[in-house]
Structure 1
Amino acid sequence: MRTLVLLRGLPGVGKSTWIKEQGLEPYTLSADQIRLLTQPPQLSVNGKPEITSKHDHRVWSLLFDLLTARMERGDFTVIDATHVTSKSISQYKSLATTYRYRVYVVDFTQVPLETALLQNRSREPHKVVRESVLYQMNERLKTEKVPSWVTVLQPEEYPHVMTYQSRSFDQYEAIHVFGDIHGCHTALNTYLQGDIKENELYIFAGDLLDRGIENKEVLEWMLAHRECRNVIVIEGNHDQHLYRFAHGEKVRSNMFNRHTAPEIEAGDFDLKEVRKFVRTFHQLTYFTYHGQTYLVTHGGLAHLPEELLHVSTQQLIHGVGEYSDDIDHLFVQNTAGLDIIQIHGHRNLYRLPIQAADRSYNLEGQVEFGGQLRVLKITADGIETYEIDNPVYRASEKKQSVSVQPDISLEDFLAHLDQHEYVQELKLPHHISSFNFTKKAFSERQWDDVNVKARGLFVNMASKQIVSRSYNKFFNIDERPETRMQHLVNHLQFPVTVYDKANGYLGTVGYNEMEDELVFTSKSYTSHVKQNPHASWVEELFFATFDDVQVDYIKSYVRDNNVSLVFEVILPEKDPHIITYDQDQLILLDIVKRQLSYEKAPFAEVKRLSEQLGMSSKQKVAAFQDWTSFYKWYQAVSHDNSIKEEGYVIEDDRGFMTKLKLPYYQFWKQMRAIKQRVAEKRSAQKYMQALQTAEQARFYTWLLEQEPENVRKRSIIELRSQFEQNEAAQLNHDEINA
């Protein structure tokens, strides 16, 4: 927080030792340390090394540069220097005023000169200061006074005074905590239903203005209540724009400069009064009310630190971590066992409800975009939540995206593929070519509208017909910008449907009109090529699964409907992956049109066809009508190690698809890589970060005890089974001995 602590006293009085004892070293700028950074110890005329002061102009210039950078962030800072003269303390006043810092001096002048001389002699040789200098400084201390604008503390007072204590608000009948208002006066007035009550407390969690269109009215209300003792305003990031505007500083916000500033100027406000108002902003509010402790910040914290005073103001305003971090659930996890409730605004990327987590309330409700003003009313009986609809807001200025790529013919698209750096063509029998993205595209993450379509695309180059195709390439959550949660929250179109994701490999069954035959494909090959067995395995399993009547029906179905059938191919013996399966099987995933533009049949048709053929199909796991319910599900399953499946495919209402890989699958996939390295007697150090639990560490230790040949020959599924049997036997042995 915006606090500057200056130490004052002779060299040798114990200032640096005191800093260490108080745990303040990480927050301290030391003049002597900067002197050593500027120049190492130099030999004195008596032959001993000493810290030189010849470059003090550079030392203090650097110290003030570092201090300015800290103050811009609102970092708690200690300055370790002698600060003998009044002038040496007054040099901080301008910065303290600019950045709204409280300044304290911890005064060591009560330490006798004799003690300083004695302790100075026992210091490390290069830190010893000439005694004549100490005598001169001591004489100056007798006449120099600490400026009156600074608060003076004795060292023994510091731990009691400089600890951020909670305040009791039990004297109020109710406490109202408001989320981001963003210049939405109508919603604010709807909640207040008139004026405030003297026996109730009103806490505003920041972002009073900006983005909304009633900034003038909100500012008028705030100025009218500026001197009310029962109104607390916490500083938000948009409130910093108002502070700079009121002080004639440059505001780096297009929205504020284009809209908010003109509203304020049209209101003919007295900027002197606005300056008085913004100087009353709080950095946080930490209080107790009828036995319950509350922490209110604008941006939200991930835990309750040992000393709130040491938290940067920038973090209090913008929040800890990234804007996309789920600060509410992190706070609850990190404060387990503590009876404290967090309240914040600023960020709600995942559209969480007001009670976002068990002990964390999120008051960001997108009020400025036609959402809700969120308010908590806290009484002796508990917490009530309110969401006030805002009917007065600015219409979106976002331009509608326009597709600039017209539909192209297959021949033109093939020409694009031929010239594309990240697409490879594989010529196959019966005039068929397969197109797929290259390994380089995958490793370098080079994706565009062309090579995402070139995934499992099989074309008869003689007839210029697509004989089989699978999905466009789609990505895991957080793998690409468009699948990151902060993008999905604004772009997923509901309802969203979740399907299970089996753990095999993709195979397709299409149709080649020139040969009048089904086409079996996988991994860029058809079953006519024995170089890669996966497509042949698709064909073998297909004919093992269906009888002649069913085969004829499937052939006519894919021919007449111009589609491919997309399967998950499960072969536990021939091609084991991560998840355990008991038998070979084809799982019907989707029915995809054999055309350039991606189109597939509805899930109902997939279910109908699979039931008619007596086979398995993908399963619908869940459907969500809104982001909040989807995100709660995502939070639950993405941290659940007990779900022994690969993951889920998530599809929105317009057909956009993304994937979620589950923790169990991800871990055993990492263990498979370690298994391979152990078998080859290579270092597995790069995978050691996967060992996050005791069970994982035990598996790795067990793996090292196995014969390398056994590790090499067996799949990760077999090794996992052996390990689990060993674990069970060990547990049984321990129970018997107990």
Structure 2
Amino acid sequence: MRHLVLLRGAMGSGKSTFIKENKLEQFTLSADDIRLLFQTPVMTENGTYTINAKNDNKVWKFLFELLEERMKRGEFTVIDATHAKTEAISRYKQLAQSYRYRVSVVDFSNVSLEKLLEQNKLRPEYKHVPDHAIMNSYERMQTENVPKWVNVIKPHEFQEVMQFKPIDLSEWKRIHHIGDIHGCYTALMEYLNGGLKEDELYIFVGDLLDRGLENDKVLQFFIDIKDNQNVIILEGNHEHHIKTWSHDEECVSRVFENSTQPQLEQAGIDKKDVRQLYRRLRQLVYYTYGDKTVVVTHGGISKIPDNFMFLSTEQLIKGVGDYELDIDYAFENNEYSSKQVRGGIGNKLMLEWFSTVYQIHGHRNIFRLPVQAAKNSFNLEGQVEKGGHLRVVTLSKDGFDTHEIKNKVFKLNKGDIPAINEDELTIDNFLEYLQNHKYISEKQLGGNISSFNFTRKAFNDKVWDDINVKARGLFINTNTKEIVSRSYNKFFNVNERSFTKISALADNMKFPVTIYDKPNGYLGTVGYDSETDELVFTSKSELRGEHAEWVKEMFYKTFKLDTIQFIKDTLKNMNLALVFEVILVEKDPHIIEYNEDKLILLDMVKRDVHYGKVDYENLQLFGRQIGIEVKEKVSVIDNWTDFYKWYREITNDWSIEKEGFVIEDSSGFMTKIKLPYYNFWKQMRGIKDKIGRKHDHMIKGSSLYTPLHNKFFSWAKTKDKEYLKKSNIIQLRNDFLSEIN
């Protein structure tokens, strides 16, 4: 936190020992240590070695540069130097005021001269200083005073004074914790409903302005209430902009400069009032209320530290970890303890998780969690500025209550998901688009049939648009201008594209969503060509390639002649294509192990420019009619919170030996998830291939980030290169696991 501690004492007074005893090394900037960075000890005339002070101009310039970097982040910092002169302490004042730091001096000046001289002799030789230098420093401290703006403490008082302890707020009837407001005055007033109640406490978690449409009204409201005894305002990351504006400094935010600032200036907001408001802002509130302990920050923390004093203000404001971190889940994992309690049938001992420590924060919520985002963590970021909710948590003698106030005054921004105007597509212009598209390749396969697929460059460079996402497993008879077979539009993994980021899914997925198992084979399709009145078997952009021939072989092996005729009639009359997952244990092994060759019916897709498919119930019915396995529906999830919890659990579950899941929302939007087990062994397949080709020097050490990574890597390096090249990853995995177990 924003606290600067200056040690003041002559050489040999015990400052370095004090730092070690209080475990302050990582927080300390030492003038002597920096002197040693600039120059090693030099020999004196009597043959001993000492620290050279001739570089002190550079030393102190560098020390102050380091100090300012720390102050920018609001880090607790100790300066180890003599600070004998008043002016030596006063030179920190400007920085302290600029970065809103409190300054304390730990005073060692009462150590006697005799003890100083004695302790100097016990120091390492290179730290010895002449006796006259100690005498001069000692005498100076007796005559020069510490400036009055600095708090002076003795060494034995340090632990007590520097411990950030919770305050008791139990006298308040109710405590209101009000989330990010972002310039949404109407929603705030709706909650306050007439004003502040004198016997209730109001804690605002920060981000008062920006993005909303009523910034001037919000700022004036806080200027008016800033001195109220029942108001606490925390500093959010957006408060930095009102600081720079009120001090006529350069603004680094386009949102503030282009939107917020004009509102404030048009309203005639006094910058002096804003500076006074900014000085009132706190970094956190840490309090007790009855049997509950509560910490309130803007950004959210992952655990209650032993001493908040040592946590940087930047982490309190911006939050611990990246913006994408689920801080509520982290807090829950780190703060919960377990105890044995009796209960259940037979009054048996059971394990129960408990905690009386709670967190309340704003700032980030890309996973769109509810207000009570975890057992003991409340999230007050509700996208109020986008027409979401102003979030509030209240605490009274009856416990916590959560509140959400819908904001009705906002500007709607266009979403991230690209719009596709299907109505503009006909088979004629669709074919023209395909044949002239920079990132689509056409392969003429004979019999007037061409396959269209997105190019390798589109895949590698992630260049996608409304047309080339359709060019996947797409086969067209260019003579009859008929789609003879097609698979899915290209769809992407979660977090692979902007519109499949978790935050985008939270905003745009339509519930309920259906989760399907994703088998681990390859895609094959069976379509129909009216020109020849024949079924069309395809895979990997081919009609007669090896994988397409395997599809045909498996198809005729699986179905009897009367069933095949039924399938053909269905595809012909209903204008459909069948999409299969093709599992071939020996011919085409992948990552997941299967016991037998089989076709799994994934979908029945319309052979039309407008993508569509048969619903799952009719897909199952058709599967029963032809006697084939249909993809498994894993679950249906009704809301975002349940979906996110499911997503969080399965993406951290290494025990699921599957490729992953396909997610389809109620509007037809699709995305997919690959699971940890699959991802790991896919990576190991690449590693075994490199070792087999004697390219193991190309394997980056950073890619081997778990013990299992390194164990497999070490094991594979001991194996014959031909064995590695000829063996698939399933065989290698089984051999590896049998040898290490």
TM-score tier, shorter chain, comes to 0.7 to 0.9
For the aligned residue pairs, the C-alpha RMSD in angstroms reads: 3.7
The residue correspondences of 1:269-418 to structure 2 (distance < 5 A) are 269-337=269-337, 339-391=356-408, 393-396=409-412, 398=414, 409=429, 412-416=432-436
Is 1:66 the equivalent of 2:66? yes
Closer, same or farther: CA 38–424 of 1 in aligned 2, 3 Å: farther
Q: For the residues of structure 2 that align with 1:313 and 1:535, how far apart are their CA atoms?
A: 61
| Contact kept? 1:667, 1:690, Cα under 8 Å | no
Query: Could you state the TM-score of these two structures normalised by the residue count of structure 2?
Result: 0.86
Farther off after superposition, 446-455 or 549-558: 446-455
| Contact kept? 1:670, 1:687, Cα under 8 Å | no
Partner of 1:473: 490
Closer, same or farther: CA 630–104 of 1 in aligned 2, 3 Å: same
Partner of 1:735: none
| Contact kept? 2:251, 2:257, Cα under 8 Å | yes
Query: Could you state the TM-score of these two structures normalised by the residue count of structure 1?
Result: 0.86
Closer, same or farther: CA 209–451 of 1 in aligned 2, 3 Å: closer
Partner of 1:590: 603
Partner of 1:550: 563
Q: For the residues of structure 1 that align with 2:332 and 2:730, how far apart are their CA atoms?
A: 36
Q: For the residues of structure 1 that align with 2:675 and 2:613, how far apart are their CA atoms?
A: 26
Q: Give how far 1:352 is off.
A: 0.9
Closer, same or farther: CA 129–657 of 1 in aligned 2, 3 Å: farther
| Contact kept? 1:509, 1:520, Cα under 8 Å | yes
1:454-506 deviations in whole A, cap 9, x for unaligned?
43344556777654332233221123333221333334344433222112211
- Matched residue SS, 1:18: helix
Farther off after superposition, 33-42 or 60-69: 33-42
| Contact kept? 2:515, 2:633, Cα under 8 Å | yes
| Contact kept? 1:476, 1:658, Cα under 8 Å | yes
Closer, same or farther: CA 536–366 of 1 in aligned 2, 3 Å: same
Q: For the residues of structure 1 that align with 2:32 and 2:46, how far apart are their CA atoms?
A: 21
The residue correspondences of 1:119-268 to structure 2 (distance < 5 A) are 119-268=119-268
Q: For the residues of structure 2 that align with 1:440 and 1:631, how far apart are their CA atoms?
A: 33
Q: Give how far 1:679 is off.
A: 7.9
Partner of 2:54: 54
The residue correspondences of 1:698-713 to structure 2 (distance < 5 A) are none
Q: For the residues of structure 1 that align with 2:119 and 2:256, how far apart are their CA atoms?
A: 57
**Residue in structure 1 matching 2:679, options 666, 670, 674:** 666
Q: For the residues of structure 1 that align with 2:701 and 2:589, how far apart are their CA atoms?
A: 21
Closer, same or farther: CA 185–37 of 1 in aligned 2, 3 Å: same
Q: For the residues of structure 2 that align with 1:333 and 1:625, how far apart are their CA atoms?
A: 26
| Contact kept? 2:213, 2:411, Cα under 8 Å | no
Farther off after superposition, 503-512 or 398-407: 398-407
Q: Give how far 1:303 is off.
A: 1.9
Q: For the residues of structure 2 that align with 1:691 and 1:71, how far apart are their CA atoms?
A: 34
Q: Give how far 1:70 is off.
A: 1.9
Partner of 2:345: none
1:430-455 deviations in whole A, cap 9, x for unaligned?
56554545666655656566654443
Q: What letter is aligned with 1:89? A: I
Partner of 2:551: 538
Q: For the residues of structure 2 that align with 1:514 and 1:122, how far apart are their CA atoms?
A: 101
- Matched residue SS, 1:475: coil
Q: Which runs of 5+ in 1 are unaligned?
A: 731-738
| Contact kept? 1:674, 1:687, Cα under 8 Å | no
Q: What letter is aligned with 1:350? A: F
The residue correspondences of 1:67-82 to structure 2 (distance < 5 A) are 67-82=67-82
| Contact kept? 2:302, 2:328, Cα under 8 Å | yes
Closer, same or farther: CA 617–175 of 1 in aligned 2, 3 Å: same
Q: Give how far 1:77 is off.
A: 1.5
Q: Percent identity?
A: 49
How many residues are aligned here? 719
Q: For the residues of structure 2 that align with 1:66 and 1:691, how far apart are their CA atoms?
A: 33
**Residue in structure 1 matching 2:663, options 627, 638, 650:** 650
| Contact kept? 2:368, 2:503, Cα under 8 Å | no
Q: For the residues of structure 1 that align with 2:157 and 2:702, how far apart are their CA atoms?
A: 48
Partner of 2:343: none
**Residue in structure 2 matching 1:637, options 635, 645, 650:** 650
| Contact kept? 2:2, 2:102, Cα under 8 Å | yes
Q: For the residues of structure 1 that align with 2:303 and 2:226, how far apart are their CA atoms?
A: 31
- Matched residue SS, 2:249: coil
| Contact kept? 2:420, 2:466, Cα under 8 Å | no
| Contact kept? 1:86, 1:147, Cα under 8 Å | yes
The residue correspondences of 1:562-581 to structure 2 (distance < 5 A) are 562-581=575-594
Q: Give how far 1:28 is off.
A: 2.1
Q: For the residues of structure 1 that align with 2:695 and 2:410, how far apart are their CA atoms?
A: 61
- Matched residue SS, 2:156: coil
Q: Which runs of 5+ in 2 are unaligned?
A: 338-354
- Matched residue SS, 1:66: helix
| Contact kept? 1:182, 1:211, Cα under 8 Å | yes
Closer, same or farther: CA 207–721 of 1 in aligned 2, 3 Å: same
Q: Give how far 1:34 is off.
A: 2.9
